[in-house]
Amino acid sequence: MSSPPPSEGPFVAVNDACTTYGTGPDAVRALAHVDLQVPRGRFVSVIGPSGCGKSTLLRLIAGLEAPDAGDVRICGRTTAEARAAKVLGFVPQVPALLPWLDVLGNVRVLEKVNRAAGRQRTQRGLASDPVALLTRLGLGDVLTRRPGQLSGGMQQRTALARAFALAPDVLLMDEPFSALDEFTRESAQLQLLDVWQELRTTVVFVTHSIAEAVLLSDTVVVMAAAPGRVAGVVDVGLDRPRHHGLLDSAAMHEHEHRVRALLETAWDPVSGTPTGTPLRTPGAAGREVA
C-alpha cells in the first residue's frame, strides 16, 4: 500500500448511508441506511437485482456523489480527501479507453498524468510494470493495437490493467464483465483473480452474477431493492488461489445457493419491485439476477 490509513478500522466504511433521488411521489429511495465495511486487502462483491442501488453505492464510495445522510470513509479519510490523494481506482461497465492510443499507451497514460502532477507512489511488482501486467491479463500480443482493434473482453482487460497500474488502495468495479459472453467472461475473471492474488488490492466489485460474485470474493454483500438496502452477507470460505475447476464444485454451488437464498428472501413484490420480474433469469449460465 502506498499510504497507510491514518486510523484503525475498516479500509472502506459506509455508515448508515441514505440516498433519495427526486422528491414527492416520484422520489426513489436508492439507498436506505446502508452499512458496508471492507477490511484492507479484501475482495468484496455487491450483488442484487437491477435498481437496488449497487451503482449508487459505488458512486458514494468513489466520492462522485455524497449521501443525503450517513457517512463514507476511505482509509479513515473523507471521500474528497481520498480522491485528492488518488487512492481510488474505478473500472466502469464501459471501458472508456482513449481511441487514439494503443493498449500500452492507454495503461501508461494515467501514470504519466500522475507523475506530471507530482504524485509520489511506491508501486509494487506487477503494478509497476505495465507490460507484465498486460501480459498477465492475456494482452501481451496486442500491446500495439488500438481499442477499435480489440474485442470487448480485451478492451475491458485493458481497462483493468489501467486501473491496477495506478496501484490504487481501493479499486471499485461496476459490472466490468457484464457485456462479455460467458466464456470470455470466465477467462477475464480468472485473469483478474491472478493479478489480484499478487497485488491484494482492496476491491468492491458490483455484479449481477451469483457465480461471478462467489468465484471472486471473500465476502458477498446481497442487496434488495425499493428501498435499496443490504439484505445479508455471505462469507466465501473457498481456498485461494481460486481456479477454473471450482466453478463446478460442490463447495462453489453451496455458496451460490446461500447467496441465491438471501436474494430470494429479500424478494418482496409488495415493496415496489415490479411483480413478475425474476430474480434469476436463464442467462448464459443460469446464475444471473435481474
Ligand X SMILES: Nc1ncnc2c1ncn2[C@@H]1O[C@H](COP(=O)(O)OP(=O)(O)O)[C@@H](O)[C@H]1O
Residues near ligand X, by CB under 6 A = 21-22, 28, 30, 48, 50-56, 228
Q: Which residue has the cell 479484501?
A: 42
What is the Cα–Cα distance from 5 to 125, expressed in whole angstroms? 21
Q: Count the helices and strands in the chain (H runs, E runs).
A: 8, 12
Task: Confirm or reject binding of residue 55 to Mg ion (CB under 5 A).
Answer: yes
Which C-beta is closer to Mg ion: that of 44 or that of 107?
44
Report what 53 binds from ligand X, Mg ion, none; CB cut-off 5-8 Å by kind: ligand X
Whether the CB-CB separation of 86 and 23 falls below 8 Å is answered with no
Q: How far is 189 from 241, CA to CA, in rounded Å?
A: 12
Contact status: 155 vs Mg ion (CB under 5 A): no
Q: Which residue has the CB atom at the shortest distance from Mg ion?
A: 55
DSSP bridge partners of 89: 171
Contacted entry of ligand X, Mg ion, none for residue 50, CB cut-off 5 to 8 Å set by kind: ligand X
Q: Which of 257, 266, 262 is nearest to 287 (CA)?
A: 257
In the bound state with Mg ion, the residue whose beta carbon lies nearer, of 19 and 55, is 55
Percentages (nearest 5) of helix, strand, coil residues in the chain = 40, 25, 40
| Interatomic CA distance for residues 146 and 69, integer angstroms | 43
Q: In whole angstroms, how close is the CB of 28 to ligand X at the nearest point?
A: 5
Q: How far is the CB of 50 from ligand X (least distance, A)?
A: 4
147 binds, among ligand X, Mg ion, none (CB under 5 to 8 A by kind): none
CA 279 to chain CA mean position, Å: 20
Min dist. Cβ of residue 41 to ligand X (A): 25
Choose between 20 and 123: whose C-beta lies nearer to ligand X. Answer: 20
Residue 28 partner contact from Mg ion, ligand X, none using kind-dependent CB cut-offs of 5 to 8 Å: ligand X
CB of 286 to ligand X, least distance (A): 20
* Residue 209 binds to Mg ion (criterion: CB under 5 A): no
CB of 220 to ligand X, least distance (A): 15
CA distance 263 to 257: 10
Judged by beta carbon, residue 139 or residue 173, the one nearer Mg ion is 173
Of 21 and 100, which CB lies nearer to ligand X in the complex structure? 21
**How would you list the strands of the sheet with 202-207, edge to edge?**
88-91, 170-174, 202-207, 43-47, 219-224, 229-235
Closer Cβ to ligand X, 21 or 183, answer by number: 21
Q: Which does 51 bind (CB under 5 to 8 A by kind): Mg ion, ligand X, none?
A: ligand X
Cell of 156: 475491458
The β-bridge relationship of strands 229-235 and 12-21 is unpaired
Binding segment for Mg ion among 52-60, 84-92, 123-131, 180-188 (CB under 5 A)? 52-60
- Residue 29 CB, shortest distance to ligand X, in Å, is 8
